[in-house]
């Protein structure tokens, strides 16, 4: 691994820690952040400084042309007391792919990994000890050159901030209600749906805000062309257990290839549970619900790990899933992934990077 020479300025005013059961998601930030700048074709000035505002000119391209993307991953306090990073290479690679699509320079994987390790080690007291809680890491990349005119920026800022988090949903591990969105779309073929572009989340806000008003926690997106085939949920990939098979939408270019999605696929295969990646329409799901073969629906994502879906509805249909209870397979997958993350079960898939 390359050795970055990171300039470190430690905080003189450490922030107060918050009890794990009060953390929620994304409300607090740890003491430090990592920054790295890109200019004249090279990455430079790796720094760790106290978490705080960043100065940018109003002409910075990110404000106008939206060259911005991010990653979301977690560090856990393993059972042995060591720091566990979950699939950092996967996130480094996904970020590089996203950067390419947005015409941004990618961060070399060894720099990405070294930056994460240095920051997490410095702020390791911020990794909660409690099971279910973790330190969420948010690597972010944006165009910072000040100019007007539509073209890629020639200057960039990469930063990593971290946030101690508890359970993602205020409901805890209770099933969530999901709204089937038919009016707006998140991503279209050939667009940005397969990467973690900030723009995708901007596109999603109107529908998710309206869904929340109706007491649904997220929306289920349908494909842009037909408004028929299932894509994913707000911040999760989605799985349907129909009969003895588990079905998840195939990665067709407008869906994010989730790290947790790939964990679920590997685990199900290792358990010899039939799992298929293919197109699945909302009509097929409604039919399976009607004939009683739709057993479970769950979402997968770094923030929520595995989330049970108890209801899938909109103005036209209302599907109550598994009597609104957490499904057996959903629970088993949640336990399996969490146990691997905390080092309670052996990491047979090689997903955990233990820091010494």
Ligand X SMILES: Cc1ncc(COP(=O)(O)O)c(C=O)c1O
Give the x/- contact pattern for ligand X in 61-80, rule: CB under 6 A: -----------x--------
Residue nearest to ligand X (CB): 258
Task: Tell how strand 230-233 and strand 218-222 pair up.
Answer: antiparallel
232 vs 296 by CB, closer to ligand X:
232
Q: Are 208 and 214 in contact (CB under 8 A)?
A: no
Select from 300, 314, 322, 341 the one that contacts ligand X (CB under 6 A): 300
The reply to whether 261 sits near ligand X by the rule CB under 6 A is yes
Whole-number minimum distance, CB 179 to ligand X, in Å? 15
What would the DSSP string read from start to end of 132-146? Answer: T-EEEEEEEEEE--B
Which residues are registered as beta bridge partners of 43?
A: 38
Select from 236, 247, 297, 309 the one that contacts ligand X (CB under 6 A): 236
CA atoms within 13 A on the CB side of 152: 13
Q: Which span (23-31, 41-49, 50-58, 255-263) binds ligand X, by CB under 6 A?
A: 255-263
The reply to whether 187 sits near ligand X by the rule CB under 6 A is no
The reply to whether 175 sits near ligand X by the rule CB under 6 A is no
The reply to whether 330 sits near ligand X by the rule CB under 6 A is no
120 vs 122 by CB, closer to ligand X:
120
What would the DSSP string read from start to end of 59-118? Answer: TBHHHHH--EEE--EEEEE-TTS-EEEESHHHHHHHHHHHHHHTT-PPPPHHHHHHHHHH
Q: Which span (152-160, 267-275, 300-308, 330-338) binds ligand X, by CB under 6 A?
A: 300-308
CA atoms within 13 A on the CB side of 323: 2
Q: What is the CA radius of gyration of the chain?
A: 21
Nearest to 47 by CA among 111, 134, 90: 111
Whole-number minimum distance, CB 257 to ligand X, in Å? 8
Task: Tell me which residues touch ligand X (CB under 6 A).
Answer: 72, 232, 235-237, 256, 258-261, 300-302
């Amino acid at each position: 691994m390359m050795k970055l020479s990171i300039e470190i300025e430690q905080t003189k005013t450490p922030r107060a820690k918050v009890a794990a059961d009060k953390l929620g998601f994304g409300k607090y930030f740890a003491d430090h952040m990592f920054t790295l700048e890109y200019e004249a074709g090279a990455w430079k000035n790796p720094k760790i400084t106290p978490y705080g505002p960043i100065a940018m000119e109003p002409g910075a391209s990110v404000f106008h042309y939206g060259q911005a993307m991010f990653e979301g991953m977690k560090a856990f306090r393993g059972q042995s007391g060591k720091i566990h990073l979950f699939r950092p290479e996967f996130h480094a690679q996904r970020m590089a792919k996203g950067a390419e699509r947005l015409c941004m320079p990618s961060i070399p994987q060894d720099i990405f990994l070294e930056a994460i390790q240095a920051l997490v080690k410095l702020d390791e007291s911020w990794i909660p000890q409690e099971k279910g809680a973790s330190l969420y890491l948010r690597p972010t990349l944006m165009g910072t050159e000040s100019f007007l005119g539509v073209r890629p920026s020639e200057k960039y800022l990469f930063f990593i901030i971290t946030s101690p988090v508890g359970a993602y949903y205020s409901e805890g591990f209770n099933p969530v209600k999901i709204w089937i969105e038919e009016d707006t779309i998140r991503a279209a073929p050939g667009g940005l749906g397969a990467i973690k572009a900030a723009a995708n989340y901007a596109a999603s806000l109107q529908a998710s805000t309206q869904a929340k008003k109706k007491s649904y926690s997220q929306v289920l997106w349908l494909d842009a062309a037909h408004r028929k085939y299932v894509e994913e949920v707000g911040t999760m990939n989605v799985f349907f257990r129909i009969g003895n098979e588990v079905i998840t939408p195939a990665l067709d270019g407008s869906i994010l290839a989730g790290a947790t999605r790939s964990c679920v696929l590997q685990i199900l295969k290792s358990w010899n549970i039939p799992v298929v990646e293919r197109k699945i329409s909302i009509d097929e799901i409604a039919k399976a619900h009607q004939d009683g073969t739709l057993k479970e629906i769950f979402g997968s994502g770094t923030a929520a790990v595995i989330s049970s879906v108890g209801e899938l509805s909109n103005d036209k249909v209302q599907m109550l899933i598994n009597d609104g209870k957490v499904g057996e397979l959903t629970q088993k997958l949640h336990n399996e992934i969490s146990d691997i993350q905390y080092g309670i079960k052996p990491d047979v898939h090689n997903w955990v990077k233990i820091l010494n």
